[in-house]
Structure 1
Amino acid sequence: MESIILNNRKRLFIFLLALVAVNTNAMSKLDIGDIPPNYLGENREGVKVNLADNKGKIVIISFWASWCAPCLKELPILEEIQTTLGKDKIQVVAVNFKESRKQYRSIKKQLSALALTLTHDKRGNLGSKFGVEGIPHLFIVGKNGELIYQSVGYGDSSREKIVNILNKELSNKS
């Protein structure tokens, strides 16, 4: 009888633990209109990168990895967009997602010509706060600090869609 009660307690404990894990993950996903986490990592110089430092600008946050071909296609496009529109209007933060420090350092050297802010999310903690489940995962934060767009993947129509979202936000007077 005592072992049955113990087994039931174990089952209840496991069930509650699973329920908490599911709810925590569900709470982490960002929806349009949400305020994303402020801290985005450290840049190449070791300086903290915060959304609040870009108030009044549009911020594009892209979670990527070196082994992800669509990610490596997307990064130069994001740099081109940032260069065209100007860093006074838009800031791109490219967050390397779940790669070792060694892998990140290697790819960071290869991408050094890109004028993007690079940060590193080795354990995926930042990605989980954003609700990243696949890469590339792109988030666009509007001038008011709220999430205005997000997408997973990168394809032929992605650039046009991103540019349209940015133009709409830039024409917004807020």
Structure 2
Amino acid sequence: MKNKKTRFILRLSLLLIMISAITYTLYQHFFTERNRVQVGDQAPDFVLEDMEGNKVQLSDLKGRGVFLNFWGTWCEPCEQEMPYMERQYNQYKNLGVEILAVNVAESDVAIESFVKKHGLTFPVLKDKDRAVTDAYDITPIPTTFLIDNNGKVLEVITGTMTERDIANYMELIKP
């Protein structure tokens, strides 16, 4: 009899813990304010390292349009749009538009291999600790922010872009 009572109390305790965890998770997800960067916001400033170890700060690009893309090597839509981004970067880099491709928490080896495979020449930045990814509240990837020459977010794009889309977005942020 004592064994049954002990098992019942243990099971009830585990059930209550699980219900509490689920309730807390749902509360956090639906009822707490997120700081998602939205159209019209000033783009949060950040400093990240590029593949050569140089520091790149977003605010240093004031006066230029910025195509800020969050991506991963494992992401098929990201891989699909990288060659489009490269071609459009070559068209727009001398017209006041910059691409910053922020890799989300992957190893240098994986990033370098990807960059080499696709012949990317635009700045690829490493967000090792996901600080910038979290600041911009990125879900899902790819996600791209179009930032004007004053640092204001003009558009937020999630999902795959065609080359025509990218060209149109470059036109939009061209100073």
TM-score (norm 1): 0.75
CA contact (8 A) 1:96 1:118 kept: yes
Aligned length: 157
Question: Quick one: distance in 2 between partners of 1:169 and 1:97?
Answer: 24
3-state SS of 1:139 partner: strand
Question: Quick one: distance in 1 between partners of 2:172 and 2:114?
Answer: 33
Counterpart among 105, 121, 125 of residue 115 in structure 1: 121
**Cα deviation code 1:3-41 (max 9, x no counterpart):** xxxx9xxx7xx95xx6499636x11x1111111222141
- CA shift, 1:101, in A, is 4.0
CA contact (8 A) 1:40 1:119 kept: no
Question: Quick one: distance in 2 between partners of 1:152 and 1:38?
Answer: 20
Structure 2 match to 1:4: none
Alignment partner of 1:23 is 2:32 = yes
Structure 2 match to 1:3: none
Question: Quick one: distance in 2 between partners of 1:40 and 1:73?
Answer: 27
**Cα deviation code 1:78-135 (max 9, x no counterpart):** 1211111234511111111132344334334434x31110111233221111121011
Question: Quick one: distance in 2 between partners of 1:124 and 1:92?
Answer: 19
Which residues of structure 2 form unaligned runs of 5+? 1-15
Question: Quick one: distance in 1 between partners of 2:149 and 2:173?
Answer: 8
Structure 2 match to 1:103: 110
CA contact (8 A) 1:30 1:131 kept: yes
3-state SS of 1:86 partner: helix
Supply the RMSD in Å over aligned alpha carbons: 2.9
3-state SS of 2:82 partner: helix
Question: Quick one: distance in 2 between partners of 1:109 and 1:161?
Answer: 24
3-state SS of 1:60 partner: strand
Letter in 2 for 1:83: N
Structure 2 match to 1:160: 164
CA contact (8 A) 1:101 1:122 kept: no
Mark the structure with the bigger radius of gyration: 2
